[in-house]
Amino acid sequence: MREYFKEMFDYTYYFNNEVIITLSNIEIIPEKSLTLINHTLNAQEIWNNRIENRKSSIDVWEIRDLSDLKDINSINYKKSIEILDLYNLEEEIIYKNSRGEAYTNKFKDILFHIVNHSTYHRGQIATDFKVNGLAPLVTDYIFYKR
């Protein structure tokens, strides 16, 4: 199952990067798309920190410079892979949300959430691209596997 999650994070990293590259190469960047890719990366960073019981220095909706997003995506990916090797997938982790409320979830469920959350927001970005007259990226998992 660890290899499966590694593959899911490879997929997440790859298509987050494709979104960032695409946004970097268009003249007028849709604000919603920029907000969503930032949110996606911020959330992964925050979850990595929660897993390691560290306080995050960023807000989940913070907007960072587009030129920094590839590096942030790479750091997030490497950290997620690193912590994947440290935990028993069935282990329960206690963490606090942004309001300071404590929750307990299995490590594997948090990992699935991180990947699923990214996929969800990339879908919203594709819709935003269409609304703005841009060709949406196809980021479906099966296309990654082809």
pLDDT tens, position by position, 31-90: 999 999 999 999 999 999 999 999 899 999 999 999 999 999 999 999 999 999 999 999
Give residue for tokens 């991180």: 114
What domains lie within the chain, and their CATH numbers? 2-145 (1.20.120.450)
Q: What is the pTM of this model?
A: 0.94
Q: Read off the tokens for 33.
A: 């798309």
The whole-chain average pLDDT of the chain stands at 95
Band of pLDDT at residue 97, cut at 50, 70 and 90: confident
